């Protein structure tokens, strides 16, 4: 019997198909044509993104209710990065079943891990408050760090301040960033890409601590770097229970550019 609490997220979680989780796609717009994110394969430099309309969420919620869901937890990319949560909240107000909308304060696997935690709770038969609580507990223990070759794309999209991006460009700095309070922030400035990636690894190891953890290496067009990092991590994370390698999609690509390499760590909950 399927869980009575359904879980919804958006495509910026970059999760594979997960039982009990419904994904509402974000739109990528290029040449005046709108594509669902997974279907876009064009030039990222000429593309923009658009949040799903409230009607998309309303249709999703209605379909889940018709299929037997008695409640829904809808978990989305940080509100400081996108208006997706606002669309979900608008739709939730008139949904046929109760909907808890959660701003994950993150993106990619920083969003994906809370979604997975909620799905595990829902599959176990937990009620709406417990499923929501599982997602929020996971958010508290999840940290994301990432490296980009240049801050230009983030500056153009308004995801990082002009002052920070100009400093990096002027000094040929390789920036290390993290997601803090729902925003992308410059964390450290490193002189070379190899040192930046080594430092990325150090930061994730420190954030993981001594407990059991899950980790995800995320990249955009940097599969060799990602696989090399994934090969090193088990030797440094003594409590590593599960490791994923995830290639992110066009929505992140539009805003960060190619070459991004990220690490997300979260506490493991059996």
Tens digit of pLDDT per residue, the chain (270 long)? Answer: 456 999 999 999 999 999 999 999 999 998 889 999 888 888 888 888 999 999 999 999 999 999 999 999 999 999 999 999 999 999 999 999 999 999 999 999 999 999 999 999 999 999 999 999 999 999 999 999 988 876 665 555 554 444 444 444 445 677 788 898 898 888 888 888 888 889 989 998 999 988 999 999 999 989 999 999 999 999 999 899 999 999 999 888 887 877 889 999 999 987
| 8 A C-beta contact, residue 194 and residue 223 | no
Give the three-class secondary structure for 241.
strand
Q: Which residues contact 5 (CB under 8 A, 6 or more apart)?
A: 69, 70, 71, 72, 73, 121, 122, 126, 127, 128, 131
Residue 65 φ then ψ, to 5°: -65, -40
């Amino acid at each position: 019997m399927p869980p009575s609490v359904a879980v919804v997220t958006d495509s910026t979680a970059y999760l594979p198909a997960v039982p009990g989780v419904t994904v509402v796609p974000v739109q990528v717009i290029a040449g005046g044509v709108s594509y669902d994110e997974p279907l876009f394969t064009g030039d990222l430099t000429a593309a923009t993104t658009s949040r799903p309309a409230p009607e998309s969420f309303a249709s999703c919620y209605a379909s889940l209710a018709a299929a037997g869901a008695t409640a829904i937890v809808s978990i989305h990319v940080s509100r400081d990065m996108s208006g997706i949560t606002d669309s979900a909240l608008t739709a939730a107000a008139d949904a046929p079943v109760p909907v808890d909308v959660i701003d994950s304060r993150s993106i990619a696997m920083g969003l994906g891990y809370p979604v997975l935690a909620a799905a595990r709770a829902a599959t176990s038969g937990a009620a709406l408050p417990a499923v929501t609580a599982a997602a929020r507990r996971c958010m508290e223990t999840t940290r994301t760090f990432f490296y980009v070759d240049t801050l230009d794309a983030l500056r153009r999209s308004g995801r990082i301040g002009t002052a920070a991006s100009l400093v990096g460009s002027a000094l040929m700095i390789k920036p290390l960033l993290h997601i803090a309070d729902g925003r992308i922030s410059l964390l450290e400035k490193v002189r070379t890409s190899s040192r930046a990636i080594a430092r990325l690894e150090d930061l994730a190891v420190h954030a993981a601590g001594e407990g059991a953890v899950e980790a995800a290496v995320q990249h955009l067009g940097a599969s060799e770097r990602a696989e090399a990092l994934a090969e090193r991590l088990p030797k440094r994370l003594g409590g590593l229970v599960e490791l994923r390698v995830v290639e992110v999609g066009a929505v992140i690509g539009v805003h960060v550019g190619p070459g991004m390499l990220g690490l997300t760590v979260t506490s493991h909950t059996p």
